[in-house]
A and B are shown apart, each in its own frame.
Chain A
Amino acid sequence: MSDAQTAGTKRNLGVEIALGVVLVLSIIPIAFTTLLAFLPNRAIVSSSWDFPFWLGNFERVFKDGIFIAQIGNSLLIVLGTVAICLVIGTLSGYSLSRLHPPRWITIPALVIAGFIPLIPPMTLLPGLYVLLSDLGLIGGVGGLVLVNAFLNLPFAVLLMSSYFSTIPEELREAGIMDGASELTVLLRIMLPVVRPGIAAVGVFTAIMAWNEFQMGLTLTSGGATAPVTVGIAGLLQPFAVTWGELAAAGTLAAIPIIVMSIFANRQIVAGLTAGAIKG
């Protein structure tokens, strides 16, 4: 896995130029949105290219407090989702990979873990809507935390289980023989070893929960009860699009995630390629 050279070691100018072009194409939409966020609407819709620096878009986005409330909702959803995914992902991942639970319980667990990622959440939505109505959780942050946790749990459990399976069985046995309980072994001996897995699950489920849109759109009534992604979509009114505000809101939602991806690159790559474990 180390940098075993697949290609030659000589610098190839053609390769660097081609890659440079792709990098520019990757950045253009992000950079353009960030640029428009600092422009007044008339500069955006005019056919000439003027760049009068302006902070009014951000001012307007924050003016009525709804956007702030939506960011707050999203942060609560992220916190709740990450907490549930870390606790259940760790416990169940550990059990699956190291505790050899009886078949009658592992088979349903593996069916759920394999099944949930395959079906489009939208197809479960009619059923989820009925479920949350029955529980009185329609339209609140609590319901969205549970739904987001459910959508990310298979990933969390499988990824944690693959990290636990790299720990030799002897480590657990030694702890048990010293008289530690199963829970103590997990908390004191296992958790420190799988810290990279915990970081990967935490970072990745945080991003997934922050980015989630379908469930936020369909299971809340919008406005101050909605997550920030729904708020951004709501800025797109059919007849009076305020492009600058749209760009400002998009920038505010995207830049923190990009900054995070610079510092937590390793965890995000582990999350994005987690499907390879099953493949």
Chain B
Amino acid sequence: MVATANATRSASPRPTARKRSRPKPVFAIVALAPFIVFGAIFAAYPLGQVVRMALSDVQIRGGIFEWTWIGFANFGAVLTDANGLRSLGNTVIFVAATVVLSLIVGLALALLVDRAITLLPLARNVLIWPAVIAPVVVSLMWLLLLSPTAGGLNKALYSLGLPLQGWIGQESTAMAAVIVVDVWHWTPVVFLFLYTALKSIDGATLEAARVDGANEWRIIQHVVLPALRPAIAAVVVVRVIMGVKAFDEMYLLTSGGPNFATTLVTQHIKTLFFDSLQFGEASAFSLVVVILTALVLGAVLFTRSKVEK
């Protein structure tokens, strides 16, 4: 059958063949429609509701929302709220630290795995385990290690006769602990991006550099890193987005404490909306976060296109 079809096609003039085989747009539209309907219902409509809520005073009476239009008052309240501003600051620190650290560790891992022989098959499998475990379970696992009262780390310190630490229970170390947990959890993603990119570098270039007598470090610096630049840029964007979205880890490990030291924007929105029932302010703060994220990503993508030119 296929052979006949080919024969017919090669016999008939090309334009006719193309015209006849042009997909019926009806099927193309019907096939794409469910996705757009889903997006419209679950993204456009909620976003519209968030905007409406942000501009209203919303009270809940008898399980029904009551809306009163109040303009931009919620934004004023949100932008002067100390806890909200603190959560923005915390998120900036959290995102910057987790992106930079996971990039460094992920890059080192990709280079290590690329040079490993004995541990290669094991590493390619085990290294992605942290990334497939639920964030809630990851924070539970680290809670069992980092809890100041029953955690494994303090138990180990005690056995060695070393002073116990507050870890997640103390303001000065809680953020660092949360950052370490996030880096443990998501470095595999960075590793996979960079390892894949590393594997697609042209072997001949490297061979040439090696024949010229360049040592490993110079090869990494002058051949490997420049070749990895697009992959690094892509993974930075991905990790920034993941950092702004982060919620589950904090929620179980510290629930934003102690004393707001680890409250990220997501935790703050959740508290405003579900715990203090300040629906308007929660929505206004959500929009501030969306706009700031868009600005940061816009800046990253802009510098990236400049650099690539």
Contacts and interface: CB of A to CB of B under 8 A. Distances in A.
Interface of A: 1, 3-9, 11-12, 15-16, 18-20, 22-23, 25-30, 32-33, 36, 44-45, 47, 49, 87-88, 91-92, 94-96, 98-102, 105-106, 108-109, 112-113, 115-131, 133, 146-147, 149-150, 153, 157, 172-174, 176-178, 182-183, 207, 210-211, 213-214, 217-218, 229, 232-233, 236, 241, 243, 246-247, 249-250, 253-254, 257-258, 260-262, 265, 268-269, 272-273, 275-276, 278-279
Given A4-B202, A257-B133, 7 more contacts: A91-B35, A98-B23, A102-B28, A124-B46, A124-B47, A178-B2, A211-B137
Interface in B1-55: 1-2, 4-6, 8-9, 17, 20-25, 27-29, 31-36, 38-43, 45-50, 53
B188 interface: yes
Contacts of B251: 213, 217, 233
Contacts of B141: 29-30, 32-33, 250, 254
Interface string B233-264: 11101100100110110011000000000000
Contacts of B101: none
B287 A123 contact: yes
Contact of B136 (A3, A15, A115, A233): A233
Contacts of A96: 32
Contacts of A265: 124-125, 128
Interface residues of B, number: 123
Interface stretch (B75-83, B107-115, B168-176): B107-115
Nearest to A122: B266
Classify the secondary structure of B's interface with A: helix
Given A102-B29, A126-B49, A118 B297 contact: yes
Nearest to B131: A272
11 contacts: A1-B200, A6-B224, A26-B130, A32-B145, A91-B34, A105-B33, A126-B53, A178-B4, A253-B134, A275-B193, A275-B237
B2 A6 contact: no
Closest 7 CB pairs of A and B: A279-B234, A127-B46, A112-B39, A211-B134, A99-B28, A101-B28, A127-B49
B21 A176 contact: yes
B92 interface: no
B112 A22 contact: yes
Contact of A16 (B21, B23, B35, B119): B119
B122 A23 contact: yes
B43 A116 contact: yes
